[in-house]
A and B are shown apart, each in its own frame.
Chain A
Amino acid sequence: MAVTVKFFASFREAMGKKQESIEGVNNVASLLDELVRKFGEKLAEQFYYSGTRELRKTMNILVNGGGLNLPHDLDKPLKDGDVVAIFPPVSGG
């Protein structure tokens, strides 16, 4: 069992894939760390402001359909079978 991460829009373009299965993570922050470790700087640039570990405000994450209040909810626990969606909300009209 593992956590399934689904990527949308620019995150999918950076990843080059729709979803990934990640094992051994216990909260959202550790999931993001593991994704960056696995997929490298290109993804880190999508998650964090350049040269920092400050989460970009363009990040929106839902865990099992529940929206997270970031960065406060980075410590939200994850368990096997959880589905995490990462997308950048757009705002134009």
Chain B
Amino acid sequence: MAVAGLGGLGSPASIYLAAAGIGHLTLIDAQRVEPSNLNRQVLHSESDVGQSKLKSATKKLTEIHSNIEVDGIYREITSKNVDRLIKGADVVVDGMDNYPTRYLLNRACVRNRVPFIHGAVEGLVGQLMTILPSRGPCLKCAVPKEPPKKPHFPVLGATPGVIGCLQAMETIKLITGVGKPLVGRMLIFNGTDMTFDEIKVNRDPSCPVCGKHGR
């Protein structure tokens, strides 16, 4: 299992994966803990500020489950290393905070036929979609164009808590074969009016990533 990004999404996702007894977790992150992270990045504490997120995450996760094997990769994800970083993973969890890197992971997962659990949040809104290469649409089918970058925006900490937990749930469902994964459907959570909705998403035959000319 690989968790790419140990922020607001990667924190709850990895905690619930570790608590569920996932034997091996690959954690990918190249950031250090900042005070502004602490409202939502529950892997890290005040005493971790200034340290690498990998260090606090590894400590926290192995405290939860002492038998867990954690491989920490302190690297930015790039087009050159992404295939190597996700190699061998059964599932990749999207804990990124930007679309360029999400698109890199999406493409690499499609190319290597690795399930990718997409999540994203802002304010009180979150979105979730499970990408099963060859079996359903990819992230590029659902969001063909990169949304504009916002340098700063608020996130209510519980919002990635909701989405990150659902990412862990999708991951556990996939590896155990339980239930129906969120394939071809994007879940939209809106904490403002406390609603969960689904948007139907079809695979785009001309998708540059998963279409017939993609990969």
Taking Cβ atoms with an 8 Å cutoff, the residues of A that contact B are 6, 8-10, 12-13, 18, 57-58, 60, 62, 64-70, 83, 85, 87-93
**B135-146 toward A: CB 8 Å interface, digit per residue (1/0)?**
001001111110
Shortest C-beta distance, B49 to chain A (Å), equals 19
- Given A92-B122, A93-B121, A65-B188 contact (CB < 8 Å): no
Q: Is the interface of A mostly helix, strand, loop or mixed?
A: loop
**B97-139 toward A: CB 8 Å interface, digit per residue (1/0)?**
1110000000000000000000111110111000000000100
CA distance A6 to B195 in the complex (A): 14
Query: Which of chain B's residues have a CB closer than 8 A to the CB of A8?
Result: 188, 190, 197, 199
Shortest C-beta distance, B160 to chain A (Å), equals 7
B7 interface hit (Cβ, 8 Å): yes
Residue in B5, B141, B199, B200 whose Cβ sees the most chain A Cβ within 10 Å: B199
Query: Which of chain B's residues have a CB closer than 8 A to the CB of A65?
Result: 137, 184, 199-202
Beyond contacts A66-B141, A67-B204, A93-B121: 13 other A-B pairs, Cβ-Cβ < 8 A, are A12-B190, A12-B193, A13-B193, A58-B147, A60-B147, A67-B144, A90-B122, A91-B97, A91-B98, A92-B97, A92-B121, A92-B153, A93-B119
Task: State which of B125, B140, B147 has its C-beta within 8 Å of the C-beta of A57.
Answer: B147
Query: Which of chain A's residues have a CB closer than 8 A to the CB of B155?
Result: 92
Tell whether, in the assembled complex, residue A90 and residue B141 are in contact, meaning their CB atoms are under 8 Å apart: no
Tell whether, in the assembled complex, residue B147 and residue A93 are in contact, meaning their CB atoms are under 8 Å apart: no
CA distance A58 to B127 in the complex (A): 14
Shortest C-beta distance, B69 to chain A (Å), equals 24
**B141-162 toward A: CB 8 Å interface, digit per residue (1/0)?**
1111101111001010000100
B91 interface hit (Cβ, 8 Å): no
Shortest C-beta distance, A82 to chain B (Å), equals 12
B43 interface hit (Cβ, 8 Å): no
